[in-house]
Structure 1
Amino acid sequence: MTIFITGASGATGKLLVERLIQAGHQVKIIVRPGSNIPDTWNNHDKITVIRAVISEMNTDQLAAVLADCQAVASCLGHTPNLKGIYGKPRKLVTNAVALLCNAILNSASGKPVKFVLMNTAGNSNRDLKEPVSWTQKIVISLVRLLVPPHADNENAADYLRVKIGQQHPAIEWVAVRPDTLTDAAHTTAYSIRVSPPRNALFQPGKTSRINVAHFMAQLITDEEQWNRWKGQMPVIYNENV
Structure 2
Amino acid sequence: MTILVVGASGATGRQLIEQLLIQGHNVKAVVRSPEKLPESWKNNERIEIISASILDLSDAKMRELTLGCHSVASCLGHNMTWKGIYGHPRKLVTDAARRLCNAIQANKPETPIKYVLMNTTGNRNRDLDEPISFAQKCVIGLLRLLLPPHVDNEKAADYLRTKIGQHNQFIEWAAIRPDGLIDNDEVSDYEIHPSPTRSAIFNAGKTSRINVGHFMASLISDDHLWEKWKGQMPVIYNKSSPK
| TM-score normalised by L of structure 2 | 0.97
Distance, in Å, in 2 between the alignment partners of 1:35 and 1:168 is 37
| Aligned-pair CA distance for 1:31 | 1.1
1:57-136 paired onto structure 2 within 5 Å: 57-136=57-136
Q: How much is the aligned-residue C-alpha RMSD, in angstroms?
A: 1.0
| Aligned-pair CA distance for 1:139 | 1.2
Match of 2:170 in 1: 170
Unaligned runs of 5+ in 2: none
Do structure 1's residue 50 and structure 2's residue 50 form an aligned pair?
yes
- Contact 1:59–1:106 at 8 Å: present in 2 too? no
Do structure 1's residue 19 and structure 2's residue 27 form an aligned pair?
no
| TM-score normalised by L of structure 1 | 0.97
| Aligned-pair CA distance for 1:34 | 5.3
Distance, in Å, in 2 between the alignment partners of 1:141 and 1:59 is 34
Match of 1:2 in 2: 2
Secondary structure of 1:72 counterpart: strand
Q: Give the partner amino acid of 1:229.
A: W
| Aligned-pair CA distance for 1:136 | 1.1
* 1:33-77 residue CA offsets vs partner (Å, 9 max, x unmatched): 555111221231100111111111122211111111010000001
Distance, in Å, in 1 between the alignment partners of 2:129 and 2:140 is 15
| Aligned-pair CA distance for 1:103 | 0.8
Question: Percentage identity across aligned positions?
Answer: 55
Match of 2:150 in 1: 150
Match of 1:232 in 2: 232
Secondary structure of 1:160 counterpart: helix
The ranges of structure 1 where at least 4 consecutive aligned residues each deviate by more than 4 angstroms after the TM superposition are none
Q: Give the partner amino acid of 1:151.
A: V
Aligned pair count reads: 241
- Contact 2:9–2:34 at 8 Å: present in 1 too? no
Secondary structure of 2:236 counterpart: strand
Q: Alpha carbons of 1:234 and 1:164: their partners in 2 closer, same or farther (altered >3 Å)?
A: same
1:162-241 paired onto structure 2 within 5 Å: 162-241=162-241
Secondary structure of 2:27 counterpart: strand
Distance, in Å, in 2 between the alignment partners of 1:141 and 1:58 is 35
| Aligned-pair CA distance for 1:88 | 1.3
Secondary structure of 1:104 counterpart: helix
Distance, in Å, in 1 between the alignment partners of 2:82 and 2:48 is 32
Unaligned runs of 5+ in 1: none
Distance, in Å, in 1 between the alignment partners of 2:218 and 2:75 is 15
Distance, in Å, in 2 between the alignment partners of 1:10 and 1:142 is 26
- Per mean C-alpha deviation after superposition, the further-off stretch among 101-110 and 115-124 is 101-110
